[in-house]
Amino acid sequence: MADEGDAPEDVCLIEVDPNEEQEDSRQQQQLSQGENSESNSTCMICMEEWTIGSAHRVCCLKCGHLFGRSCIDRWIREKGQQAKCPTCNKPARRVDLRDLWCKTIKAYDSTELADLQKQLEQERTNCAKERALSFHLKNVNDQLYCDIDKLKKTVMERDARLAKLEDIISKINKLRSEKLSIDELYNTEPENMVIEINHHPPQELKGKFYFAQNVESDPRGLCKSMTLCPTSAELLIAQPLPQGHPRLGNDFGIRKYSLLDTTVHSFICLHNQPLNSVQIKPHGDLILTSGQDRKVHLTSINNSRKVQTFDCQYEPLCVSWSVHRDQQFYVASRNCYIALYDMRNTSDYIYKKNERVAKTTMVSMTSVYQSNGLSGVVANDARGSHFLELSESSDYESEMIDHEVEHLKSYQLPFSGLMGTVDYHKPTNTTLITTRRSPIDEKTKHSLIKLKRVELDDGTVRIDCDNIRTFKGGRAPDLLGQSRIMRHPTLDDQVLVGSCDESAQGVKLWDASDNTEYQKLRTKEFIRDMVLYTPDNTNQHILYTLHDKGFGTYRWDYA
């Protein structure tokens, strides 16, 4: 038997160092603190770490439990008045939330996440721009294909007509050689045997416009303006949404009528408020519109889709395509600010005149281009007329335009009084300026002019007007109607000037070739605008006149 002081045989006695025992205790304590710190640095709702500089920053409730700010805020909003702390189930309110700044908190650095979010937003913006550009290019491509198809159709029709004419000529020559006797040909001069296919009526045979029909477009009398699209052979009327249209709302837009039989094609919704001005692009099917909702739209007539939209600081009253730069157009606001836009810049204008052209209200504006290189816009305000010359450095190429340069230099034109509209005729380079009432004359005056630049001895420049013709109308109407320069039906190098004359109860047409009154069209309604349409390869001339409820049609024929 062993002694009491001896250890059992199966027990191993190990001598423990006190320093090692303290070190193990300290490591277990640090590990426990690390686990507690790790568990205490996460939100009890989403189990993600807190941050100190974002929406998920650490905060506490009245009971003292910690959460991420965004998580507990969403928790309380979803639970409403019955919200309670997720940990201790005590009542919780949003006013009880307190942001904390803890010295020992293990904060998550969200800088990299914020940068990634910014990059994501930038990529989304770039994708949206690329989609817009792709949509624009698709529309341009569709337009080009449509133009190609129309050109092919025109060539085929022209070839067919030429073949028919050649067949007719051959038959006539054959019949003449077979059936005409020598006695019948004896007194016939050879030059009289020539057949003229393209026969034009003599100039002394004067024609007139005869009323054809009247089309009602809006019974409420809210038709404001119109334009004509030769490419699609359609008449475009600016008006509200037609009554009985399946689409509900107070939209305003363009109603399309066929020039062949005046049937309604469709209605394009464009603006939320009434339209101020519409103008078709000289080459193509894009229509430019401005409305009281301070927006300018570019819309394709073929597919009835908006191509571009521009937001304006002021209400855009007048729009006009540039005559010699088909990618640019002008916008004039009601308070006489004029800006230059380019289709290649889809965000905003490329240049805006900082000063107002006049201190009154804008009335009318048109783009002009003279053969002497003078280009810009002629603008009429309520009390005067101005020419804004466009500098050559204003061409928009790869966003290199210098916004510090004055691109539109204003000149005062020698017209005063109560001003009317302005119009430009490119084939003759003439401009029509209407004065509704002047200090020396109470009647309306229409001046057909050409602009020219004059350099004075002191080095300054002045813009003069060469007066070609002056046409006097009746007393100034209460409403504003658009005066127009139109092609002469029989004299290719001359024009007709048309204007609504309230005292004459209709439309007056003047012949610019001899300064005489060509014709007077009696109408019951006040005519707001007019446009002359001449189909290709025909001797037909159709005059469309716009009034508040629709439009009238007048066909030209010999008297």
Residue 349 corresponds to which tokens in the numbers above? 């204008």
- pLDDT tens across the length of the chain (559 residues): 444 444 444 434 434 455 555 555 544 554 444 444 444 678 889 988 877 777 888 899 999 899 999 999 999 999 888 899 999 999 999 888 998 876 555 556 678 888 899 999 999 989 988 988 887 788 788 878 888 888 888 888 888 888 888 888 888 877 777 655 444 444 444 444 444 444 444 444 468 899 999 999 988 888 989 999 888 889 999 999 887 776 766 689 999 998 887 788 888 999 999 999 999 998 888 999 999 999 999 999 888 889 999 999 999 999 999 998 888 999 999 999 999 998 888 888 888 888 889 889 999 999 999 877 788 999 999 989 999 998 766 565 545 555 544 578 889 998 888 899 999 999 899 999 999 877 677 788 999 999 988 888 887 888 899 999 999 888 777 788 899 999 988 877 889 999 988 777 789 999 988 888 889 998 888 899 999 998 877 778 899 999 999 999 999 887 5
Q: How far apart are CA 60 and CA 66, in angstroms?
A: 4
In a domain, 126, yes or no: no
What are the strands, taking DSSP E only, across 292-361?
295-300, 305-311, 316-321, 328-333, 338-342, 351-352
Residues 236 and 358 in one domain: yes
Beta-carbon count within 10 A of 306 CB: 15
528, 500 contact by CB (below 8 A):
yes
Q: What angle do CA 37, 41, 44 make, to 5 degrees?
A: 120
In a domain, 440, yes or no: yes
Write down which residue in 73, 107, 141 finishes a domain: 107
174, 167 contact by CB (below 8 A):
no
In a domain, 505, yes or no: yes
Range of the domain at 90: 41-107
Residues 357 and 481 in one domain: yes
Look at the chain and report how many structural domains it folds into: 2
Phi, psi of 4 (to 5 degrees): -65, -30
CATH code of the domain in which 222 resides = 2.130.10.10
Is the pTM higher than 0.85?
Answer: no
Residues 223 and 93 in one domain: no
Distances, alpha carbon 108 to alpha carbons 97, 111, 380, in Å:
21, 9, 65
Helix, strand, coil shares of the chain, percent, nearest 5, are 20, 40, 40
Residues 416 and 529 in one domain: yes
Phi, psi of 548 (to 5 degrees): -65, -30
316, 290 contact by CB (below 8 A):
yes
Residue 415 corresponds to which tokens in the numbers above? 């017209």
In a domain, 308, yes or no: yes
CATH code of the domain in which 90 resides = 3.30.40.10
Phi, psi of 198 (to 5 degrees): -90, 75
Residues 468 and 346 in one domain: yes
Residues 373 and 508 in one domain: yes
Residues 229 and 83 in one domain: no
Beta-carbon count within 10 A of 526 CB: 17
Write down which residue in 107, 128, 156 finishes a domain: 107
Report the length, in residues, of the chain.
559
In a domain, 509, yes or no: yes
Dmax (CA) of the chain? 175
Single-letter amino acid, residue 375: S
What DSSP string describes 393-435? GG--STT---TTS--EEEEEEEEESEEEEEEEETTTTEEEEEE
Q: Which strand (E) or helix (H) includes residue 65?
A: none
Residues 386 and 520 in one domain: yes
Residue with tokens 């730069």: 325
In a domain, 52, yes or no: yes
372, 452 contact by CB (below 8 A):
yes
Beta bridge partners of 418: 437
Residues 498 and 381 in one domain: yes
Q: What angle do CA 468, 542, 320 make, to 5 degrees?
A: 55
Write down which residue in 92, 107, 122 finishes a domain: 107
Q: How far apart are CA 110 and CA 95, in angstroms?
A: 26
